[in-house]
Amino acid sequence: MHMLYMIFIDPFVQMGAAPDLLAQTLWEGLVAGVLYALIALGFVLIFKASGVFNFAQGIMVVFAALTLVGLYAHGVPAFLALALTIGVMFLLAMAVERFVLRPLVNQPEIILFMATFGLTYILIGSGELIFGGDPKLMISDQLLLPGGAYQIKMLGGFVQMQKIDIAAAIIASLMVATLAVFFQRTRIGRALRAVADSHRAALSVGISLEYIWVVVWFAAGVVALATGIMWGARSNVSFALEVIALKALPVLILGGFTSIPGAIVGGVIIGIGEKMGEFYWGPLFGSGIEEWFAYVIALIFLLFRPQGLFGERIIERI
Amino acid sequence: MFYREAGQFKTSYRSDQALFPILQDKIGIVLLLAVAFIGVPLTASEFVIDSFITPILILSLAAIGLNLLTGYTGLLSLGTGAFMGVGAFSCYKLTTFFPGVNIIVLIICSGFFAAAAGIVFGLPSLRIKGFYLTVATLAAQFFLSWCFIRVPWLYNYNISASIEVPERMLFGIPVTGPTATVITRYLIVLTIVSVMTWLASNLIRGRIGRTWMAVRDMDIAAELIGIKLYPTKLLAFAVSSFYCGVAGAMLVFLYLGNAESESFSINQSFLVLFMVIIGGLGSLLGSFFGAALIYGLPIVLRMVKEGLGIPVTSATLEHVNFIVLGTLIILFLIAEPAGLARLWQIGKQKLRVWPFPY
């Protein structure tokens, strides 16, 4: 009885008693959610266009951030380093297409999935070999990202908002908007959607798969770079960040593998759910429920919608 | 020339469907077992047995477990590490409660606990398919590893949060704990792995294995020909987790000696998945090849480095290892996406027709 009270009544009493804390928790959840959504976005881009479940997306985030910070540490000016990092991500996209995707074309999904594991290992090894494995500070000041925080007086208390979080939210929305326009309005975007629908049909109307793959992997790389800058500004840049990729997976199944809005909405749901769970229900179970709470949320949603919230309806034929 | 089945006529379905229909294969397996049971303990050094053969055998069993689920039933799971952990921790609790019971019986029993966990986390498999299910199995991985840390009852409130294997006797010989000899433990592992591999090979050649493969190839079609999807998938989860659980219990009790939740983390799941895919999906023999390659490769790389005498720090070595492993995975996939088992088959086929090309 006490347990039931603690699970179903007490957290809500707490929420009512301290609305400012609730608002703070919601805000933090929202920000975390936006960042999860950014990683999920990278996954979705690649999955849509090539059907590859890219496990390396999380490590691409770390790799991009490390390259940026590492170049700056070698004396390259901040914005030049940013441009160079984008260049590196382009080279990476070319290399992946040439040496991984092209030889493995027409293989089962699981083989391509496995290949991205190999890619993950290569990126971990080379990233640490070149830039060292110790945590580094993100150069957020040099990139003109705001620091500090706003204290907003509301609901009888204060809610603290880090400026970098607000910037992250804005940049994420801009990026999603750009991608949406890119997908809907441009020639390449149309080609991408065609490839997503059917590789063979796209080939037969003269769309070059190789070209499209480089474009999506490059887009995913740029998304990874943005994610890396944002995550890096909140904590340090190190390979510990790779666990966030695993955090992004529930977002992915919640939103659906093929939907960009799904990634965003899923990210926000998971982010808020996770922070609320940790804050209000966490003490009941002992700390650390963040690790699996997101998966439980995602699983509950999946039981009702097996293709995720926004995924394309699964139609099966014999 | 020697490996040829010409003249070996089958006069009954029974002999045609035997596990090894060709005489040379029968001789080969008998020789292999003889070497493994008698030759290796007599000749190989304890170092080789302890650092290569025993762990590879144990991991092969885990890979067989995952192969039953992923390779034969087509359900990709990333919860292997957690299911191995369930086996290990339940074996530990069992031997705490029943110290007098034969430890091998307990190792096998702990598989049933893992099977129960597998069924629970396999429940979403009817509605969720493909990579969605893969991510859903990650829920099992993270929830169970969390339990291994946060439920102190599981490790008997040990302060270091790890389980330490107590000494257990079998016919007066210590088989677990620090006093058990390498050879004893090797022989027990070998026996369990051989018996369970034999059982698995019979399972997949029979009705159950055929329903699994039908579900793998196309589940709607399988349903239309009268296979009940839900029990079939759950059975696959149960059997697969049983194998993983036994492997996990053996890993701790007969090899590591002590373990904590870290031994059954997501990385373990990934490693077993690599073994299955590199070895060959849907091949028991491939599971052994994959385990040997994935487990042995880093050790061999380290030895090569030491042998060449290149002065590198251990950190650099670690990174180079990562790069080499990643590159090899991709190269293997490009060279032979069907896995090492396929290479073996090609070799066998070549041997049959040798010295002619076809």
CB contact at 8 A, A265 and A309: yes
State whether residue A239 sits within 8 Å of chain B by CB: no
State whether residue A253 sits within 8 Å of chain B by CB: yes
Name the band, by pLDDT with cuts 50, 70 and 90, for residue B1: low
CB contact at 8 A, A233 and A164: yes
On the question of pLDDT at A62 being above 90, the answer is: no
On the question of pLDDT at A283 being above 80, the answer is: no
**CA neighbours within 13 Å on the CB side: how many for B55?**
19
Cα(B33)–Cα(B40) distance, integer angstroms: 10
CB contact at 8 A, B91 and B149: no
φ, ψ of residue B174 to 5 degrees: the values are: -65, 130
Q: Which of A107, A110, A299 sits opposite B136 (nearest CB)?
A: A299
Name the band, by pLDDT with cuts 50, 70 and 90, for residue A296: confident
pLDDT given for residue B319 in this prediction: 80
> Which residues contact residue B244 at a Cβ distance below 8 angstroms, ignoring those fewer than 6 apart?
B62, B65, B66, B80, B83, B84, B87, B114, B118, B272
**Cα–Cα distance list, B4 to A46, B74, B179, B348 (Å):** 49, 34, 48, 10
State whether residue B120 sits within 8 Å of chain A by CB: no
**What mean pLDDT is predicted for residues B273-284?**
88
pLDDT given for residue A241 in this prediction: 67
Cα(A257)–Cα(A113) distance, integer angstroms: 14
Cβ contact, residue pair A292, B334, below 8 Å: no
At B315-356, the pLDDT tens digits run 777 788 788 888 888 888 888 888 888 888 888 888 888 788
Cβ contact, residue pair B326, A103, below 8 Å: no
Q: Where are the alpha helices (DSSP H) in B68-102?
A: 80-97
CB count, 10 Å around CB of B93? Answer: 18
> Percentage of chain A surpassing pLDDT 90?
4
Name the band, by pLDDT with cuts 50, 70 and 90, for residue A185: confident
CA angle (B275 as vertex; B260, B118 as ends), nearest 5: 55
Any idea how long chain A is?
A: 318
At A97-106, the pLDDT tens digits run 888 888 887 7
pLDDT given for residue A175 in this prediction: 84
| CB proximity under 8 Å: A 66-105 to B | 99-100, 103-104
Cα(B238)–Cα(B242) distance, integer angstroms: 6
Q: How far is A129 from chain B (nearest CA, A)?
A: 6
**Cα–Cα distance list, A78 to A66, A68, A170, B223, B286 (Å):** 13, 8, 21, 59, 50
**Cα–Cα distance list, A309 to B112, B130, B278 (Å):** 36, 16, 34
| pTM of the predicted structure, to 2 decimals | 0.88
CB contact at 8 A, A133 and B315: yes
On the question of pLDDT at A174 being above 80, the answer is: yes
pLDDT given for residue A262 in this prediction: 83
Mean pLDDT check: name the lowest of A291-300, B77-86, B214-223, B234-243: A291-300
Contacts of B136 in chain A (CB under 8 A): 253, 295, 298-299, 302
Name the band, by pLDDT with cuts 50, 70 and 90, for residue B288: very high
Cβ contact, residue pair A119, B330, below 8 Å: yes
